[in-house]
Amino acid sequence: MKKITVLFFLLASMACQQDKIAYVNNVQLMDGFKEKVAIEARYTSQTEALNKKRDSISQAFQAEAQAFQAKAEGMNQKKAQEEYSLLQQRGQLIGQQLQQEEQQLQLRGQTEMDSVVQKVKREITAFGKANGYTFILGGGEGGSVLYGSEAKDVTDEILKILNGEPKE
């Protein structure tokens, strides 16, 4: 009888033990994370600078091509074709260099954003462990929470940790 009573209390205590669950609004969290916002702003300004550089080089190259066309009219056909070929090669080289710069910029931006995502995941994990959560689910666009009580939303708490704000 003692074994049945102990077993009953053990099962009852396991049944009463509830998982502590919360959720984080992924979109709100990432949009409010200052480090992520700063990376996006830096990437945007670098992209704009690259676009200005591309436009400037394009305009200079077009001017050079127009000058060549005017000059080519007075040249013999063979010489004009040779210079036109050199101009084309230079144009391709410039295009490849600009494309390579753009790809490097995108790669740096993606690497920084991947680092931010990993940092956010680490902070959510640390927060969950420190506060006794069994699960912290992701909500927002593409999240897995279709409904959650606002009382279970820990987005603001984690955002304050990520942004280095003092606890209230």
16-162, which class in CATH? alpha beta
- The sign of the CA dihedral 154, 158, 163, 168 is positive
The residue count for the chain: 168
Q: H or E element: which one contains 83?
A: helix 77-130
21 phi and psi, to 5 degrees?
-125, 140
Question: Which pLDDT belongs to residue 140?
Answer: 80
- pTM assigned to the model: 0.73
From the list 167, 166, 165, the residue with the least C-alpha distance to 33 is 165
Instruction: Tell whether the model's pLDDT for residue 53 goes beyond 70.
Output: yes
In the chain, what are the domain boundaries? 16-162
Determine the Cα–Cα distance for residues 112 and 120; give it in Å rounded to an integer.
Answer: 13
pLDDT of residue 7: 45
Percent of the chain with pLDDT over 90: 55
Whether the pLDDT of residue 148 is over 90: the answer is no
Whether residue 143 has pLDDT greater than 90:
no
Extract the runs of DSSP E, i.e. beta strands, from the chain: 21-25, 135-139
pLDDT at 8: 47
The β-bridge relationship of strands 135-139 and 21-25 is parallel
Mean pLDDT of 66-73: 85
Q: What is the pLDDT of residue 40?
A: 95
Determine the pLDDT at residue 146: 64
Compute φ and ψ for 153, nearest 5 degrees.
Answer: -85, 115
Indicate the SS3 state at residue 8: helix
